[in-house]
């Protein structure tokens, strides 16, 4: 599985856009990029997944450049409830049988 590197922590204020970048220099051709969100005392929750270019859903956007060696999770107009740890994962997702390897994630703190 490709190793990922992301910032340990980030701070923001309500209403701002937050961009969290993840580096995955040795991503393989078959690998997808997936982001999870984890609130305190809860299990991680799937946010978004992409392979290339841009993916958007009701929660976030995921930007992936052409070389796919990095990706950026974008959270528009964050609120206090977006305070959480965000994990970037890279690996094959075609069957769902892959066992996920989580890094330490990025701890996002949103302040009023």
How far is CA 63 from its chain centroid? Answer: 10
The secondary structure of the chain in percent helix, strand, coil, rounded to multiples of 5, reads: 5, 50, 50
In the list 29, 58, 99, 112, the residue contacting other proteins (rule: CB under 8 A) is 99
In the list 58, 67, 81, 96, the residue contacting other proteins (rule: CB under 8 A) is 96
**58 binds other proteins, rule: CB under 8 A:** no
Tell me which DSSP letter residue 12 carries.
E
Residue 86 beta carbon to other proteins: minimum distance, rounded to whole angstroms: 12
DSSP string over 28-70: -TTEEEEEEEE-TTS--EEEEEESSEEEE-SS-EEEE-TT-SE
14-53 footprint of other proteins as x/- string (CB under 8 A): --------------------x-x----xxxxxx--x----
Residue 112 beta carbon to other proteins: minimum distance, rounded to whole angstroms: 26
Nearer to other proteins, 16 or 55 (CB): 55
**93 binds other proteins, rule: CB under 8 A:** yes
Strand order across the 18-23 sheet:
18-23, 70-75, 61-64, 53-56
In the complex, which residues of this chain contact other proteins (CB under 8 A)? 34, 36, 41-46, 49, 87, 93, 95-97, 99-105
């Amino acid at each position: 599985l490709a190793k990922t590197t992301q910032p340990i922590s980030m701070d923001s204020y309500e209403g701002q856009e937050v961009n969290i970048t993840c580096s995955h220099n040795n991503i393989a051709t078959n690998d997808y990029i997936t982001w999870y969100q984890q609130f305190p005392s809860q299990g991680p929750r799937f946010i978004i997944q992409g392979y290339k270019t841009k993916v958007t859903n009701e929660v976030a956007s995921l930007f992936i450049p052409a070389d796919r060696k990095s990706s950026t999770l974008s959270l528009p107009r964050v609120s206090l409830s977006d305070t959480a740890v965000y994990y970037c994962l890279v690996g094959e997702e075609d069957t769902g049988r892959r066992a996920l390897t989580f890094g330490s994630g990025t701890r996002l703190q949103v302040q009023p």
